[in-house]
Chain A
Amino acid sequence: MNNEEFAKRVEAVRTRPFKTAMVYLDSEAQALDAVDEAVYKALCGRWKLRQPEYFDTWITRILINECHNELRRQKRYYPLEELPETAAEEFDALPLKEALRRLPKELKDVVVLRFFAGYTVAETAEALQIPAGTVATRQRKALQLLRLELEEEVLR
């Protein structure tokens, strides 16, 4: 992928990675840093992406790694434990942002991409490199825990 195509694709996807990072990190400055780092890493490794049509999900994968790295760094100073899937009452008692942050990682990855950044089930599956059926199962569990009644995409 040459520089021009890379620039076009970054331009096209810019807001979705930012929304994703915002939900993970709950800080505009940290989200911008994570997006910057993801774009930088993608720029350095752009020639590794043999199929440009996967650019969007590829950079999302890099971004999610960045967000998890940042959360790991924060955890050293502000420990915030995930709640188990069985802790329905605890999730109910938390504000939505806090409940999102304490979701098990696998559920959080799916729900952030699907319902906050606007990815389809297929795109989410590609970005997280999991089957579409797994995306559907995890999003259902996550929505139940968050008590969110959002329309689920019908899988064909």
Chain B
Amino acid sequence: MNRMEEYQALMEELERPVPELETTLDRAERKKRKRDRRILRPVAGVAACFVIFVLLVNFCAPVAYACSLVPGLRELAEAVTFSRSLTDAVENEYVQPISLTQTENEITASVEYLIVDQKQVNIFFRLDSDVYTGLEMSPRVFDAQGDSLGCSILSNNFDAENGELRSITVDFVDENVPDSMILGLEVCSNTQLYEVGIAAVDQALSEENIFADDPEEPEYLAEFQFLLEFDPEFTASGRIYPVDQTVELDGQQITITDIQVYPTHLRVNVAEDEDNTAWLVGLDFYIETDWGMKFDTVSSGITATGTTESPSMISYRADSTYFYQADHLKLVITEAQWLDKDRDTVYLNLVTGETGQLPDGVEFLSAQRQGSDWIVSFKVEYGDDEVMGQVFDYDFYDAEGTAYEINMRSTVVWNEEFGEPNEDGTWDYYVEQFPLKNYSDEEVWLSLIYTDKWTAENEIVVTVQ
């Protein structure tokens, strides 16, 4: 075969049909959606919940009644006031008492109560010691064989005193709570945490970078493992109400597929029309019974969950109606947040400050070179809820499309350093600040959590029988 024959043979080889090429774009879109996924987005609302706790325990008659019936539940009632659903659960004695105690290195850990249903486990426990004060812990959970579980864990207490009842929430999105699980607690003293924190601050100051590398893990004083076995009556608790009603929000079609009511929380599940030009990333609503009692979206813990298929949030959490009788429920949608499908990232020139279109109320503030990092700051206007919400996601891109991750961020309260306060001394803005670590380019494309916020002129009402 001479050269030209070889060439012809190679050209024929290249002309062979390759069916997989038909689906290249699908694969790219799937990969991008996976990159974009945001499964869980916890919010903090501890301070506000603390106020509710005081009101409930002191003035709520049913809670006081429940406390009087079962010894020990008064303290539990105090420990769950960050959640209206858990408060209702305790009031209705929806509690699995459990008594497990272990001691190691003069530290005693005891697990005392569980509030568990089909999708969530709330574990109430104490740490105590005559030797150490200010005990802190890092929780982990495994299945009974010691393998990882597909769940998220939230600690509900910080700075708890020795002997004080604490809790953690283990939340399952798709899977159900298993029959049993192992709870691991790694315990250290807050003095150790303080020292580690001080060392981290020293390092940050020496490097003139507040986002220096993660501090080292503290040395743990004790490690505990408890096997928690759940009463099947509790893990079977859950009611699903099919809805399948489509509503138009801000010109986009959203279908409310069903409402799932569990003792610990309520889920409103939605599906989006493929032709929508934006992904639904936030939904504000309330649930109302036929006799007028309202249940709001949760103010602490997990507020919404998504999937790997798109950046959308497809399941939204509210306080549970589980312990209340109602002939029908009304879902009233008041606000939504969108991520425009064509604006999921925004351009920023780190040298000139030139930006692409940012969400309303967000302005570029500064980009400072610190060592091999850029520290980027944006000025963000408070929304009506006065929450310091997150604008930018955890990934960013260079001009070649190479992905990088943001592994730290801080939200800074606006102060005199940035500008003058309002006449009443309040501030309309806060600052979202994060590092682009080891990033040398002058141009960057930042991922957005949302592009637009929408408020319904007239409330959108969906009735659920």
A86 within 8 A of B: no
B1-32 CB mask vs A (1 if < 8 Å, else 0) is 00110110011011000101100110111011
Q: Which residues of B contact A95 (CB under 8 A)?
A: 6
B347 at the interface (CB under 8 A from A): yes
Choose, from A36-44, A73-81, A129-137, the stretch at the interface.
A36-44
Question: Does residue A51 face the partner (Cβ distance < 8 Å to B)?
Answer: no
Question: Contacts A18-B21, A23-B14 hold; do A96 and B3 have CB atoms under 8 A apart?
Answer: yes
Shortest distance in angstroms between B304's beta carbon and chain A's nearest beta carbon?
24
Measured CA separation A153–B428 after assembly (Å): 64
Q: How far is the CB of B444 from chain A (nearest CB, A)?
A: 11
Question: What 0/1 readout, one digit per residue, does chain A (23-61) give for beta carbons within 8 Å of chain B?
Answer: 100001000100110011111110110000000000000
Which single residue of chain B is at the shortest CB-CB distance from A46? B342
> For chain B, what secondary structure do more than half of its interface residues adopt (helix, strand, loop), or is it mixed?
helix
Interface set, chain B 387-408, CB cutoff 8 A to A: 397, 399-403
Contact between chains at B28 and A47 (CB < 8 Å): no
| B341 on the A face (CB < 8 A) | yes
Instruction: Given the known inter-chain contacts A28-B18, A96-B10, please indicate yes or no for A45 contacting B4, CB distance below 8 A.
Output: no
Q: Mark B320-359, 1 if CB is under 8 A from A, else 0.
A: 0000000000000000000001110101000000001000
Q: How far is the CA of A65 from the CA of B24 in the complex (A)?
A: 18
Instruction: Count residues of A near B (Cβ-Cβ below 8 Å).
Output: 36
Closest A residue to B399 by CB, please name it.
A48
Cβ-neighbour of A44 out of B20, B24, B32, B341 (below 8 A): B32
Q: Do A10 and B25 touch across chains, with their CB atoms under 8 A apart?
A: yes
From 71 to 120 in chain B, residues with beta carbon under 8 angstroms from any chain A beta carbon are none
Q: Which of A7, A35, A45, A115 contacts B445 (CB 8 A)?
A: A45
Question: Is A149 located at the chain interface by the 8 A CB criterion?
Answer: yes
User: Is A47 in contact with B3, judged by CB distance below 8 angstroms?
Assistant: no
Please determine whether B24 and A36 come into contact, CB atoms closer than 8 angstroms.
yes
Q: Which residue of A lies closest to B343 (CB)?
A: A47
A47 x B342 contact (CB < 8 A): yes
User: Within 8 Å CB of B3, what residues of A?
Assistant: 96, 146-148
Contact partner of A116 (CB less than 8 A), chosen from B10, B397, B399, is: B10
Name A62's contact: one of B14, B29, B397, B401 (CB within 8 Å). B401
Bound-state CA distance A8–B343 (Å) is 19
Chain B positions within 8 Å of A48 at CB level: 347, 399, 445
Evaluate contact between B401 and A45: CB separation under 8 angstroms.
yes
- A44 near B4 (CB under 8 angstroms)? no
Q: Does A110 contact B (CB under 8 A)?
A: no
Give min CB distance, A68 to chain B, whole Å.
12
B28 touches A43 (CB 8 A): yes
Please, could you name 9 A-B residue pairs with CB atoms under 8 Å apart, sorted by A? A11-B25, A14-B24, A28-B18, A39-B28, A41-B400, A43-B25, A45-B397, A97-B6, A115-B7
Given contacts A97-B10, A147-B3, 18 further A-B contacts (CB under 8 A): A3-B341, A7-B25, A19-B14, A23-B14, A28-B18, A32-B18, A36-B31, A39-B24, A39-B27, A43-B28, A43-B32, A44-B397, A48-B347, A62-B400, A95-B6, A96-B6, A96-B10, A97-B6
